[in-house]
Copies of this chain bind each other. A is one copy, B any other.
Amino acid sequence: MADKLVREITSMDEDFTQWYTDVCVKAELIAYSHIKGFMVIKPYGYAIWENIQKELDKRFKKTGVENVSMPLLIPESLLAKEGELVNGFAPEVAWVTAGGQEPLTERLCIRPTSETVFSDFYKDDVHSYRDLPRLYNQWCSVVRWEKETRPFLRSREFLWQEGHTIHATKEEAEDRTQMMLNLYADFLSEDMAIPTIKGQKTEKEKFAGAEATYTIEALMHDGRALQSGTSHFFGQKFAEAYDITFTDKDNKLKYVWQTSWGMTTRLIGAMIMVHGDNEGLVLPPHIAPTQVVVIPIMQKKEGVLEKAREVESTLIDAGFRVKVDDSDKSPGWKFSEAEMRGIPVRVEMGPRDIEAGQAVLVRRDTREKITVAIDNLAEEIKNLLETIQKDMYERAKNHRDTHTFEAHSSEEFSDMIQNKDGFVKAMWCGDRACEDKIKEDFGATSRCIPYEQENLSDVCPICGKPAKHMVIWGKAY
C-alpha cells in the first residue's frame, strides 16, 4: 500500500519519456485538455510557476525592467513587416478570422512572440534619447501550432515572460543581451539548482530575425539537452522594419538598438528531468511550494496532532512554507505522496519522538534521516534546506560534467555522438553543411558555441577543414 503511488509510475531507467509523463500527471502538475497541446496547469504545477515568476520578476526589476501588457492578437500585415520573423513563425501561428458574427477584414494571429507588437508600440512611444532605454517585459501566454507536443516541453500554448528592450547605442543593447543571459543562468543555478552552459547559437539555430541569439543549455538526466532560456540581439533590424527612430544628443535621427529575452514554463520540465527520480519529483527548496511537510505518526494519540501544528506554526513564523498532512491516510501513504510531490524535507513525529523532545527529518533528495531536537527545528531546517539546495546543484553539475564528452578526432566524434548520452564537445569549421550533416547522420544539433572555448583539435571532425569554434552538440528536447 505504502508504495502504491510509486508503483503507478514507470521507472525512469525503463522508459524515461513515460516516466516524465507519469510524474507530470501523478504529481498533479498538469491535466490534459480537449485540445492537443493545450494543458491545464493544476494548483501544484501553478504554484511552482508562481515561485519561478516571483524570483525572476524580482531579479528583472532590480535591473530596471518594468512590466506591461500588450495585445494578444497581431494583424497579419503587422506580423509581415519583418521578413525573417514572419517566415520563421507564419507556419505555426493560430489565425483568428471572425469576431462575433462578422468575418474580419484582416486575419489576426494569436501572438507566437511579440517583437512585432512591441516594435509597433515603441515606434510611437519614443522620440528622443531621453526616452531611452525602454526596458519592458510581459508575463503572458503565447500560441505556436506545434505538431509534436509534450507537457511543459513543447506545447501549443505556453506561459512565459518576454522582455523587449530598446536602446540608444549598440553597446548598451549588447550589454543588456548579456546581462539577461547572465541573470537567467544565475537564476537557474541559484534557485532551480540547474547548471547551464552559456553560449551563442549558430546561424542555423538562432531566432528568426535576430542578429545573434545567446542561450543557456541544460543537460537532462537522460543525457538530452534542453534550451532553457534565450536572449536575442536584434541590432537595428526591427527598428528599420518598423521605423523606430529617436533624436539623439547630436540632434540626428537614428534607429534604436533592440533586444528580447524569454523563459517559459519549460523550466518546470527542466526541473523535473534534472532532479526527479523513480519516486517522483525532487524540488529545489527555493522553488518548492511546500518546503517542509510535517507527518504525524499515530496522530490519533493525544497531543500528537497538537504538537505537529505547533511545529508548523513555529516553522511558518520562521519564514518557511510548511504543511501538516493530517489526512486520514496511513503514514506510509503520506510519505509516498510527499515524495511524489518532491517536498524537500519531511518531518516525522510520533508519540515517542514527542516524549523524547525530538523529530525525524527526512531529506527528499538523499532520503537520509536525521533525528533532531524539536526545540532546534527551525535552525536545523534552515540549514538543511540550504544544504539540499546546494547538494542538488552539485549533483546536477556532477551529472552534467560526467556526461560531457570531448571529441578530439572524427572517430571520437562519431563514436560519442552515437553512443554517449550527453553533451559532446567538438570543433567546427563554421559551415552550415557540416551542421546539417550531423543532424542528418546522428540526429544531433549544435546546442551552442560556448563562451568558454577550448582547442580540442585544429580541424572540423566532419569535413577536415580548419576549425573555427568549439561547439557543444547534443540531442535535444
Contact = CB atoms under 8 A, between A and B. Distances in A.
A66 B94 contact: no
Interface in A253-303: none
B46 A68 contact: yes
A95 interface: yes
A107 B101 CA distance: 13
Interface stretch (A72-80, A334-342, A374-382): A72-80
A100 B42 CA distance: 28
A31 B125 contact: yes
A35 B108 contact: yes
A152 to B, nearest CB: 12
A104 to B, nearest CB: 9
B68 A43 contact: yes
A140 B136 CA distance: 19
Contacts of A319: none
A100 B94 CA distance: 6
Contacts of A143: 72-73
A125 B422 CA distance: 38
A62 interface: no
Interface string A80-105: 00000000000111111111110000
Given A67-B43, A145-B99, A73 B159 contact: no
B38 A120 contact: no
Interface string A33-48: 1110011111100110
A31 to B, nearest CB: 6
A70 interface: yes
B67 A33 contact: no
B96 A91 contact: no
A358 to B, nearest CB: 32
B46 A121 contact: no
Contacts of A34: 71, 75, 78, 120
B98 A94 contact: yes
Given A31-B125, A42-B68, A43-B67, A97 B100 contact: no
A110 interface: yes
Q: Which of A49, A96, A145 has the most chain B CB atoms inside 10 A of its CB?
A: A96
A100 B92 contact: yes
Interface in A197-213: none
Contact of A157 (B72, B117, B156): B72
A124 interface: yes
A141 interface: yes
Contacts of A46: 66-69
A306 interface: no
A50 interface: yes
Contact of A66 (B47, B125, B159): B47
Contacts of A69: 40-41, 46, 49, 141, 159
Given A46-B67, A121-B33, A121-B40, A141 B72 contact: yes
A71 B125 contact: no
B39 A71 contact: yes
B97 A95 contact: yes
A50 B47 CA distance: 18
A97 B72 CA distance: 16
A115 to B, nearest CB: 15
A101 B96 contact: no
A226 to B, nearest CB: 21
A71 B35 contact: yes
Contacts of A33: 70-71, 117, 120-121
A100 B37 CA distance: 13
A110 B92 contact: no
Contact of A97 (B41, B43, B92, B98): B98
Given A38-B72, A96-B96, 10 more contacts: A33-B121, A34-B71, A34-B78, A41-B68, A43-B136, A47-B67, A73-B157, A94-B96, A96-B110, A99-B145
Closest 6 pairs (CB-CB, A-B): A43-B66, A38-B71, A100-B145, A99-B145, A41-B69, A95-B98
25 contacts: A34-B71, A40-B70, A40-B121, A41-B68, A43-B66, A43-B68, A43-B136, A46-B66, A46-B68, A69-B159, A72-B143, A72-B157, A73-B143, A73-B157, A93-B99, A93-B100, A94-B99, A94-B100, A94-B108, A95-B96, A95-B97, A95-B98, A96-B97, A96-B110, A99-B156
